[in-house]
Chains A and B, each alone.
Chain A
Amino acid sequence: MVNPLSVSGLKVTLGATEVLHGVDLTVSRGETVALLGANGSGKTTLLRAALGLIPHVAGEVKLFDTPPTRFHEWSRIGYVPQHSQLQVLKATVIEMVRSGRLARRGVLRLQNLADKAAVTKALQVVRMSDLANRELTELSGGQRQRAVIARALAGEPELLLLDEPLAGLDMRSQEALAAILAELKAAGLTICMVLHELGPMKPLLDRSVVLREGNVIYSGQLAGGTYA
């Protein structure tokens, strides 16, 4: 079966320094993998290179068996960036969440019922329905993070890449997110997420991968201790 994400021998340089020194990471279908490691160990870089947002100098990246440069089925992928810059003038929460459907909608097609239902559901899941028409600039940090998560969920992806999704979320929101991810996982969603604390995500995780200074130093069952 095709692996949603497979990275091998990945080397990435940012500026003048090599940040990833030959990383291997395979996430198979239905699996939930935690990406752990200290600040600056290269977790965000790994996700961004996997999505083809930054080029790699060596190695191979495959999304559903296709290199990102030739990949077209972006509706199969959801992404929650670590630091979203949402600098768009006057945009409301729901307008931003709707943009998570664009890979499905394509060009010159109005929203259909499925699009609207997915957006409504995503807002409910992150408990942002009441704030749907609030401007992004008027949100707290945690509320904004929830909106960004809703944007990724609205796309109904098969592979979900989350970069520190729990950062800034209150306990109730963390639990709500873990609950929906558990539900989606049961329905077959593949998840790879960067975490510093496992928190309520712990029961979901099948495996953890630990990075240190741009190398994978551990990959396997969740061990007891902390990594970061």
Chain B
Amino acid sequence: MPDILDVLAYPFMQRALIAAVLSGLLAPAVGMYVVQRRLSLLGDGLGHVAIAGVGLALVTGWTPFPVAVAVCVLGAVAIEALRGTGKAPGDTGLAILFYGGLALGILLAGVANRGTAALSQYLFGSLTTVSGSDVLVLAVLCVTGVALTLLLAPQLFSVCADEEYARTQGLPVRALNMLIVALAAITVSASMRTVGVLLVSALMVVPVAAASNIATGFRATLLTALGIGVAVAAFGTLGSVALDTPSGATIVVLAVAVFVLTAALGGAIRHRHRPPAEEPELPTFTPHIPAEADATHPPETLEGMPGTTAVLHGDHVDYLLHGHRHAPHGDHWDEH
């Protein structure tokens, strides 16, 4: 087993780690909305379209990565534009587009005399061959994508929650829907080099699913998913080096393991913190818990209660006040 720290001294390994972490950040940020809109299979299909872009690049001699991103985004925008006009391509239409794209990519790779071997690094990911310019493109896409999902989070949230209501708030619903699909396409194609197009949907969906096992609230779930995404990408990459396994698969298997773990953990939390059967009357003393507070992102102190300190205690957070520990439990406070 190679020593992890020694391996990290190699520039190619550093590039691999940076690329993996960027993917691990972007995929759940976009995945949050992809899951809401039930587009995870669309994401998968778009990966097939990206392969057509790789084939095109192999034939023309262009750099595969940017071409694949462009082709994939164009395909996604076209599909969403058709959907917006009510002429949604049906199930069959989408299948034709996706498998047509994949077949075209393989065909073009053959024409370019590069065979399917050249494609496999895009299908399954190939972190260790990531070049400096790949990292740069990925960084630009990732920063743009994550910034958009976070800055427009209230708007995207509203569109996902209730499209009609969003329109009565004057939101550009069609443009926002288009943005979600375009971001999905960017994520899929950007993650080709890290986890590969065959597994990228997993990186969009699984961290979000894992986060929703343990977090409460949309914002908290989004932030938790980002954390899980980055963690599995980084540790998956290091693990793949230590175990000499394919990086993409290692990352995804790790993500699934985290999902299973959080599912068990979430079940235990729900069991302990069963909501009260009846609406409670207002307690005489109600410290205000900021909306952002939850088990994974506890606030440092309680608003309106200066002098409290947050202390992690098992699966929840205690607040130190007057030397006693107070833990939120449903709608009241336990003294520990």
| Least CB distance, B62 to chain A, in whole angstroms | 35
Selected contact of A98 from candidates B32, B154, B275, CB within 8 Å = B154
Which of A81, A88, A107, A135 has the most chain B CB atoms inside 10 A of its CB? Answer: A88
Binary contact track B152-182/A, C-beta < 8 Å → 1, others 0: 1011011011101111111100000000000
Return chain B residues, CB-CB under 8 Å to A72: 170
A48 to B163, CA, bound (A): 13
A135 to B67, CA, bound (A): 42
| Least CB distance, A205 to chain B, in whole angstroms | 23
Chain B at the A interface: SS class: helix
Query: B216 and A90: CB pair below 8 A?
Result: yes
Binary contact track B301-319/A, C-beta < 8 Å → 1, others 0: 0000000000000000000
Contact of A131 with B161 at beta-carbon distance under 8 Å, contacts A90-B218, A92-B216, A99-B154 already known: no
Q: Please tell me if A46 contacts chain B, counting CB pairs below 8 Å.
A: no
Return chain A residues, CB-CB under 8 Å to B221: 89-90
Query: A133 and B35: CB pair below 8 A?
Result: no
Return chain B residues, CB-CB under 8 Å to A81: 162, 164-165
| Least CB distance, B227 to chain A, in whole angstroms | 15
Binary contact track B165-202/A, C-beta < 8 Å → 1, others 0: 11111110000000000000000000000000000000
Q: List residues 48-94 of chain A with CB under 8 A from any CB of chain B.
A: 48, 51-53, 71-72, 74-75, 77, 79, 81, 84-92, 94
| Least CB distance, A7 to chain B, in whole angstroms | 16
Return chain B residues, CB-CB under 8 Å to A88: 36, 157, 160-162, 218
A-B pairs with CB below 8 Å: how many?
A: 102
Query: A87 and B36: CB pair below 8 A?
Result: yes
Contact of A130 with B162 at beta-carbon distance under 8 Å, contacts A53-B168, A74-B169 already known: no
Query: B212 and A105: CB pair below 8 A?
Result: no
Query: A134 and B165: CB pair below 8 A?
Result: no
| Least CB distance, A17 to chain B, in whole angstroms | 18
Return chain A residues, CB-CB under 8 Å to B217: 90-92, 95, 133, 135
Return chain B residues, CB-CB under 8 Å to A103: 169-170
Please, which residue of chain B has its CB at the minimum distance from the CB of A80?
B165
Q: Please tell me if A108 contacts chain B, counting CB pairs below 8 Å.
A: yes
Contact of A99 with B279 at beta-carbon distance under 8 Å, contacts A87-B161, A92-B216 already known: no
Query: B169 and A102: CB pair below 8 A?
Result: yes
Q: Please tell me if B323 contacts chain A, counting CB pairs below 8 Å.
A: no
Query: A74 and B165: CB pair below 8 A?
Result: no
Contact of A77 with B168 at beta-carbon distance under 8 Å, contacts A95-B219, A96-B161, A99-B161 already known: yes
A45 to B217, CA, bound (A): 33
Q: Please tell me if A132 contacts chain B, counting CB pairs below 8 Å.
A: yes
A53 to B218, CA, bound (A): 26
Q: Please tell me if A138 contacts chain B, counting CB pairs below 8 Å.
A: yes
Return chain B residues, CB-CB under 8 Å to A86: 161-162
Return chain B residues, CB-CB under 8 Å to A74: 168-170
A89 to B208, CA, bound (A): 10
Q: List residues 124-155 of chain A with CB under 8 A from any CB of chain B.
A: 129-135, 138, 151, 155
Contact of A95 with B218 at beta-carbon distance under 8 Å, contacts A89-B35, A103-B170, A131-B279 already known: yes
Which of B154, B208, B215 has the most chain A CB atoms inside 10 A of its CB? Answer: B154
Please, which residue of chain B has its CB at the minimum distance from the CB of A161?
B168
| Least CB distance, B274 to chain A, in whole angstroms | 11
Binary contact track B7-41/A, C-beta < 8 Å → 1, others 0: 00000000000000000000000001001100000
| Least CB distance, A192 to chain B, in whole angstroms | 14
Q: Please tell me if B93 contacts chain A, counting CB pairs below 8 Å.
A: no
| Least CB distance, A169 to chain B, in whole angstroms | 14
Binary contact track B212-228/A, C-beta < 8 Å → 1, others 0: 10011111110000000
Q: Please tell me if B140 contacts chain A, counting CB pairs below 8 Å.
A: no
Q: Please tell me if B244 contacts chain A, counting CB pairs below 8 Å.
A: no
Which of A85, A89, A94 has the most chain B CB atoms inside 10 A of its CB? Answer: A89
| Least CB distance, A149 to chain B, in whole angstroms | 12
| Least CB distance, B150 to chain A, in whole angstroms | 11
A92 to B290, CA, bound (A): 13
Selected contact of A99 from candidates B157, B164, B220, B289, CB within 8 Å = B157
A155 to B166, CA, bound (A): 13
Binary contact track B107-121/A, C-beta < 8 Å → 1, others 0: 000000000000000
| Least CB distance, B210 to chain A, in whole angstroms | 12
| Least CB distance, B211 to chain A, in whole angstroms | 8
A135 to B170, CA, bound (A): 26
- 12 contacting pairs across A/B (C-beta < 8 A): A71-B170, A75-B170, A79-B165, A86-B161, A87-B36, A95-B217, A95-B219, A99-B157, A99-B165, A102-B154, A130-B331, A133-B217
Q: Which residues of B pack against A, CB within 8 Å?
A: 32, 35-36, 151-152, 154-155, 157-158, 160-162, 164-171, 208, 212, 215-221, 275, 279-280, 282, 289, 291, 293, 331
Q: Which residues of A pack against B, CB within 8 Å?
A: 48, 51-53, 71-72, 74-75, 77, 79, 81, 84-92, 94-96, 98-100, 102-103, 105, 107-108, 129-135, 138, 151, 155
